[in-house]
């Protein structure tokens, strides 16, 4: 990591808070926006989500020791925010017919590489395993990185991913629209 | 830079590349992979397009709302990130006892002391169970696997802090900064200046694992970074009253009960 790039720790010390907020938003906003757009698949919702997530993540960014740490907070908070949005939208929507659901093989693990499919499965999962599943299957983070991002042990990450896979298998076996 | 177990760049690597935050070697390696991998190349183009869209349209449209929200947030909340603790602040302030933690301190002396706000380094622990209200954890209190704990410290002028633990099976874990090999500086943000006479909520949230039994917490305050291996050694050498050279230590124990 290049120290001179640590905008939040070096170049903005002592400047007006409003200017600092604007600079941080300009720097990290694209990463948040891209992430929200990817998860929500809707430009307008992603724009709204970007503002909300940035405000929530701002203090963490300001105190993060480097860009990787700042991104970890962005991933954590934007993932939870967007998944909640997806869940809430799902509650308002009509139930999905089972024949509209994707077909999965008996072993869903390889299918997880299909990010769209993974998102649909994640959206149906309990809250506690959703973030781990997104970070691992959709963001491609290693288990140790997921653990660091979420502030949990690697063992817990492994357990949650296993639970996600188990639930996905049940989902396939039952052919229903609800895993939980 | 290396690809993940599935042979692709992670989102983190791609975002760091976009932020120009990878060093030259890592950046070169990542770019080579992008040229060779269709999936990652596509993802790279996508994030660049998103960045362009953000800079051209989204930034200008949303910045005023962001500034307004931040201003409102600054007015309502304290400088510290205590939103998580707001429900318990009333309880905490209701009695000084909730601010006082029985602890042992070493580094300058080994006498037990009461860590009172503003007078000595202090460590407070708050926990959340399931979706319940946060509660202050007292010395020796029983917690359960999957409880989430956070830390509030009074650095009392120290410039660096580390919070770590050793569980009943002897496993050592650095809780803050999580997984780090040394303590973290407290000077990176204006509100965390070490001479500020107030408490600091650390950003790490820890979910407790299944290991039952007593778990000893240690908060290490120092003017220079302290290595995690030295803290672990101190806990192994004298679990009841660990001592770390050139540092002040607050240490106490809670119990983890099985579900």
Residues 6+ apart with CB under 8 A from B125: B136, B137, B149, B150, B151, B152, B217, B254
Which residue ranges does chain A devote to CATH 1.10.1740.10?
1-93
Summarize pLDDT for A125-174 with one digit per residue, the tens. 887 788 888 888 888 888 888 888 888 888 899 999 998 888 887 776 66
Inter-chain residue contact B189 with A18, CB threshold 8 Å: no
Interface test with B, best of A14, A18, A31 (most B CBs within 10 A): A31
Q: How many CB pairs under 8 A join A and B?
A: 133
- Is this model's pTM higher than 0.80 or not? no
pLDDT at position A8 is 32
pLDDT at position B75 is 54
Interface test with A, best of B7, B10, B21 (most A CBs within 10 A): B21
Span A75-84, average pLDDT: 87
Q: What is the ipTM of this complex?
A: 0.72
Tell me the H-state helices in chain B: 11-18, 24-36, 38-53, 59-76, 86-94, 228-237
Locate B157 and state its tokens: 């002028």
CATH class of A1-93: mainly alpha
- Other Cβ atoms closer than 10 A to B13: 25
Which residue ranges does chain A devote to CATH 1.10.10.10?
97-180
For residue A123, the distance in angstroms to the closest alpha carbon of chain B comes to: 19
Cβ-nearest to A155 among B47, B178, B209:
B209
Summarize pLDDT for B124-172 with one digit per residue, the tens. 888 888 766 778 888 878 898 888 888 888 887 788 899 999 988 898 9
* Structural contact between residues B157 and B194, judged by C-beta atoms closer than 8 angstroms: yes
Residue B77: closest C-alpha in chain A: A59
- Using a CB-CB cut-off of 8 Å, the residues of chain B touching A55 are 66, 69-70, 73
Q: Name the residue among B248, B180, B37, B224 with its Cα closest to residue A72.
A: B180
Residues 6+ apart with CB under 8 A from B65: A51
CATH class of A97-180: mainly alpha
Interface test with B, best of A1, A33, A144 (most B CBs within 10 A): A33
């Amino acid at each position: 990591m290049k120290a001179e790039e640590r905008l939040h720790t070096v170049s903005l010390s002592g400047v007006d808070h409003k200017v600092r907020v604007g600079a941080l938003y300009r720097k990290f906003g694209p990463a948040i926006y891209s992430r929200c757009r990817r998860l929500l698949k809707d430009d307008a919702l992603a724009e709204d989500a970007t503002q909300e997530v940035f405000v929530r993540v701002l203090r963490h960014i300001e105190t993060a020791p480097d860009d990787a740490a700042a991104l970890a907070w962005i991933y954590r908070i934007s993932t939870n925010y967007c998944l909640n949005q997806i869940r809430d939208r799902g509650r308002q929507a009509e139930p999905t017919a089972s024949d509209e659901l994707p077909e999965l093989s008996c072993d869903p693990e390889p299918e997880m590489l299909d990010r769209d499919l993974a998102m649909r499965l994640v959206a149906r999962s309990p809250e506690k395993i959703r973030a781990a599943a997104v970070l691992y299957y959709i963001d491609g983070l290693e288990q140790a990185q997921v653990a660091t991002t979420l502030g949990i042990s690697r063992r817990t990450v492994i357990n949650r991913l296993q639970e996600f896979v188990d639930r996905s298998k049940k989902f396939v076996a039952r052919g229903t629209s609800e895993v939980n | 830079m290396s690809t993940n177990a599935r042979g692709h760049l992670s989102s983190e690597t791609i975002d760091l590349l976009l932020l120009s935050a990878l060093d030259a070697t890592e950046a070169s390696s990542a770019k080579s992979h992008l040229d060779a991998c269709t999936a990652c190349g596509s993802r790279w183009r996508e994030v660049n397009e998103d960045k362009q869209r953000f800079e051209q349209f989204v930034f200008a449209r949303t910045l005023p709302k962001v500034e307004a929200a931040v201003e409102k947030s600054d007015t309502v909340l304290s400088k510290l990130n205590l939103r998580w603790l707001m429900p318990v602040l009333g309880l905490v302030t209701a009695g000084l006892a909730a601010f006082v933690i029985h602890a042992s301190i070493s580094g300058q002396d080994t006498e037990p002391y009461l860590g009172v706000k503003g007078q000595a380094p202090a460590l407070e622990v708050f926990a959340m169970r399931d979706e319940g209200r946060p509660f202050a954890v007292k010395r020796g209190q029983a917690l359960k696997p999957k409880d989430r704990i956070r830390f509030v410290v009074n650095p009392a002028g120290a410039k660096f802090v580390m919070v770590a633990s050793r569980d009943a099976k002897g496993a050592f874990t650095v809780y803050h900064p999580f997984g780090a090999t040394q303590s973290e500086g407290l000077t990176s943000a204006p509100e965390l200046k070490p001479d500020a006479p107030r408490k600091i909520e650390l950003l790490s949230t820890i979910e407790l694992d299944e290991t039952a039994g007593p778990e000893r917490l240690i908060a290490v305050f120092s003017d220079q970074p302290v290595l995690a291996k030295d803290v672990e050694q101190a806990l192994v050498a004298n679990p009841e009253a660990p001592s770390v050279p050139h540092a002040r230590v607050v240490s106490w124990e809670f119990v983890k009960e099985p579900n």
